[in-house]
Structure 1
Amino acid sequence: MRRIISLLLTLIIIVTCSSCGFKKADNKPYSITFQCFDTICSITIYDKKPKKDLEKIANKLEKKCIHYDSLYNLDDSRYSVEFHHSDGSLTCIEDVHFSNKKNAMRTIGFGEEDEPLYDSIKYSKMTDGAFDVTIAPLVKLWNINGKDFKIPSDKQIKKQLKYVDYKQIDDSPGNYYVLTKMGSIDFGGIAKGFISDLLVTELKENKIKSALIDLGGNIYTYGKKNNSLFKVGIKKPFTNNELSATVKAKDKAIITAGIYQRYHKKDGKIYSHIINPKTGYPIDNDLNAVTVISDSGTAADALSTGFMVMGLKKGIALANKTKNIEAVFIDKDNNLHLTDGLKQDGKEITIK
């Protein structure tokens, strides 16, 4: 009897020590939600690391988002700008949206705030200006996101349109860019994608296995969710919660640009936040939305805007010939048009 009691006590001690000394790490997803980029953002991490470690990493990612948002926000610019006047004098200011001056040109250095500029020029060239990083004068003129919306006059649009042209950016000096027409830059069409790439790099450095990044609808599926592909819905334009399709993917940015996301409607006409850099007016073509799928959040963000401006025929043609780019185009009737590298089964879309 004593032997039985002794064995039972030994088993109790082993079980107790096992539960204390060898506690299995919490495998539940850790999620954080925060306000940034004028929208709601969330980051969900799937990893076996202790909760306190995941919390520390998630908070670091949030701070990175807030930091870069302060750099790239059109209304809170921190750019250092130099004006080289015709008389040889130099004026330095801290506002890239300073009023236009004659006989001057802007010099933008390669500081932290200018990091997306190289890629912005790249995709401006690739889309022949359908995505144009110098769109800022028109964005501010239309003020689609503002409360007091007013359609600008043709005269006002033409005045600002002359400052919108990515070809004005002269990078020949090698260590800085020059905006020769006194325009100004806007990273709004590329910043969230660019930042999602920075967050993925941070996740890799912290040896995180899997995460879902959602920067106001700009999605990055990092790794797999419990050994399965992430499922990301593509919203049906101008509906509340209906989906046009669901994309299954891993290690992909999935970013949508659409006229339904931010717009004003006046006299039955929709004025979208997506402005055609060549006409100066909000786009009015055969597309409601474009979702771009890519390894690069930067590419997906810029090209989703570029494809929207280009329209269905030109946009899908460019997408099909661009490496590591797939896209779902939604026309005015909400019909789907897929690039060659995608396959569809019902409402489910996967990469071939």
Structure 2
Amino acid sequence: MSQFKHIYAIFIALIFVNLLSACSPAQEKKFQLTGTTMGTSYHITFKAMSDAVEVEHIQIKVDKALLGVNEIASTYMEDSELSLFNAKKSTLPIAASDEFREMLSEAIRLESFTNGYLDVTIGSLVNLWGFGPANRPETTPTDEMIAQARDKFGIRFLSIEGTTVSKANPDIYLDLSTLAKGYGVDVVADLLDSKGIHDYLVEIGGEIRTKGTSLENKNWVIAVEKPVSETRAIQRVITPKDNAIATAGDYRNFYEENNVRYSHLIDPKTGRPITHRMVSTSVISPSCMVADGLSTAFMIMGLDKAMNLANEHNIAALFITKNLDGTFSEHHSEAFTPYLKSQS
């Protein structure tokens, strides 16, 4: 499931302040889980009373939950629920899982909220430009090819009725990569909550959700990566508190042809990769799925539209643009300000 945003943004190295300490008072102890999912890796750090948690049992539960998300939303698995829906050439309603309907419902809401800049039905365009399961195209798509692909998408073609979903256009191709990793983070966070664990950091491929405090009883501290492809460096350190943070960018997932750079982020309005100077967007939200989707939408919109929408709806967002001289500039919405304050 390696299409899932390929990681644009947040990395945790050296940021877990609790790694500096081995153990806190009493029996409270730090636990760490790692694994692979959706074509990337996951890292979970949490604290709990050492005699009240079965780590191996939790790891099994986490892996099972993430496998379930993959089996629903992967475009790389031919038998995933999403792939079967895409392959079905029918407009009749079909039974759908709660999880599939939840992601689809949020995708429909975000398409409307972002004025069409986040559209999960543009899978035909993503594939056309070589950023889906298919290989990179041998030549740049022509205007005619783009027009044909654009005829196959539109959120208006999707419907959810009770426990069923349907598509008015049988050729529609969904791509939930803008939501699935964030959804997976939420699933794991909810699982930890259900086990009575309320101090944790969950990260899947750069999308993160935190709650409570680290082992040193401090806020979790997260680094936003500098948007450069040659190395890994910190652009900004923030404290998301009991929230999720997701970052989208186009500085790692792209290709070049005839000295032209093609971003993996496709603008549904034009059918083409974005070309503006925004290179990274981070969004803080209680839901990682929402933060995941909005960070992508804001990246596609560009700075002015994204800033206006974020401020209008009190969304915490950080935008990084690349200047003509190769340097970077930061911009953030009003709601993002509190997360730039004290890390204590």
Using the size of structure 1 for normalisation, the TM-score is 0.80
1:145–1:273 contact (8 Å) kept in structure 2: no
Distance 2:335 2:263 in 1: 29
- 1:157 is aligned to 146
Structure 1 residue 306 and structure 2 residue 297: aligned?
yes
Distance 1:316 1:272 in 2: 21
The Cα of 1:198 is off from its aligned counterpart by 1.7
Structure 1 residue 233 and structure 2 residue 223: aligned?
yes
1:108–1:176 contact (8 Å) kept in structure 2: yes
Q: 2:107 aligns with which of 120, 124, 136?
A: 120
CA deviation vs aligned residue, 1:20-55 (integer Å, no higher than 9, x gap)? xxxx97533211221111112111122223386133
Q: Secondary structure at 2:295's aligned position in 1?
A: helix
Q: Secondary structure at 1:68's aligned position in 2?
A: helix
Q: Secondary structure at 2:337's aligned position in 1?
A: strand
1:181-196 alignment runs, 5 A limit: 181-182=169-170, 183-196=172-185
247-256 vs 54-63, greater mean Cα deviation: 54-63
The Cα of 1:61 is off from its aligned counterpart by 1.3
Q: Secondary structure at 1:29's aligned position in 2?
A: strand
Q: 1:107 aligns with which of 67, 86, 93?
A: 93
Superposition RMSD on alpha carbons, in Å? 2.6
1:15-54 alignment runs, 5 A limit: 26-50=27-51, 53-54=54-55
Q: 1:177 aligns with which of 165, 183, 187?
A: 165
The Cα of 1:73 is off from its aligned counterpart by 0.6
- 1:260 is aligned to 251
Distance 1:268 1:80 in 2: 39
1:164–1:277 contact (8 Å) kept in structure 2: no
1:234–1:246 contact (8 Å) kept in structure 2: yes
Quick one: which amino acid aligns to residue 30 of structure 1? F
1:257–1:289 contact (8 Å) kept in structure 2: yes
1:342–1:351 contact (8 Å) kept in structure 2: no
Structure 2: segments with no counterpart, 5+ residues: 1-24
2:179–2:289 contact (8 Å) kept in structure 1: yes
CA deviation vs aligned residue, 1:166-198 (integer Å, no higher than 9, x gap)? 122234x54433321221221110011122122
2:70–2:80 contact (8 Å) kept in structure 1: no
Structure 1: segments with no counterpart, 5+ residues: 1-23, 82-93
Larger Rg: 1
- 1:142 is aligned to 129
Quick one: which amino acid aligns to residue 71 of structure 2? S
| Fraction of identical pairs, as percent | 28
Q: Secondary structure at 1:193's aligned position in 2?
A: helix
Change (3 A) 1:139 1:223: same
Change (3 A) 1:287 1:106: farther
Structure number with the bigger relative contact order (C-alpha 8 A, sep ≥ 6) is 2
Distance 1:271 1:294 in 2: 29
CA deviation vs aligned residue, 1:108-166 (integer Å, no higher than 9, x gap)? 43314333111111111101110012122122222226695223232222111111111
Using the size of structure 2 for normalisation, the TM-score is 0.82
- 1:15 is aligned to none
Length, aligned pairs only: 309
Change (3 A) 1:60 1:170: closer
